[in-house]
Structure 1
Amino acid sequence: MGSFSIWHWLIVLVVVLLLFGRGKIPELMGDMAKGIKSFKKGMSEDDSAEEANADGKTLEHRADETVATPREKVSKG
């Protein structure tokens, strides 16, 4: 009972193919790959935000203030 034989694995494979169908498995794998890429992208964006705030300053949003973009600063100054 320790390990499964090749016949056990073939039966499992047939059952999985019957349940999900041939086209569904690649679709599920593609969706999983997109999810992993999205997760990695989110983690790298999170790391870059932490590095930007590494000097101890925090970014605060106040509804009554607007922040000038560099283009606005140049045109006014």
Structure 2
Amino acid sequence: MGSFSIWHWLIVLVVVIAIFGTKKLRNVGSDLGAAVKGFKDGVKDGTTSEDAAKPPQQVTAGKVNDPNTVDVDAKTKS
């Protein structure tokens, strides 16, 4: 039960083509290739940009004294 010979792989290929058809296998292959290419581009773009690694900063409009706003650090239960 060692490695498979070329005849085993040819039989497997014929069965797969008979089940799925050549058009379906071609579509799956092209989709897989596009996914791998997109992944490689995403990894390449993500590592070269230092700005993408920084999280966006929170922007506040200034100190607003709204009576409905509760500051959880300042309010303690006694």
TM-score, scaled to structure 1: 0.59
Deviation, 1:26, is 1.4
1:60 to 57, 60, 68: 57
Deviation, 1:20, is 1.2
User: Identical aligned pairs, as a percentage?
Assistant: 44
Query: Residues 5 and 44 of structure 1: is their aligned pair in 2 closer, same or farther, counting only changes over 3 Å?
Result: closer
Deviation, 1:12, is 0.6
2:52 and 2:4 map into 1 onto residues whose CA distance is: 53
- What secondary structure, in the 3-state scheme, does the structure 1 residue paired with 2:26 have? helix
Aligned to 2:6: 6
- What secondary structure, in the 3-state scheme, does the structure 1 residue paired with 2:59 have? coil
**What is the count of residue pairs matched by the alignment?**
61
Greater gyration radius: 2
TM-score, scaled to structure 2: 0.59
- What secondary structure, in the 3-state scheme, does the structure 1 residue paired with 2:16 have? helix
Deviation, 1:35, is 0.4
Asked which structure has the greater RCO (Cα within 8 Å, sep 6+), the reply is 2
Aligned to 1:38: 38
- What secondary structure, in the 3-state scheme, does the structure 2 residue paired with 1:2 have? coil
Deviation, 1:31, is 0.2
Unaligned runs of 5+ in 2: 62-78
Higher-helix-fraction structure: 1
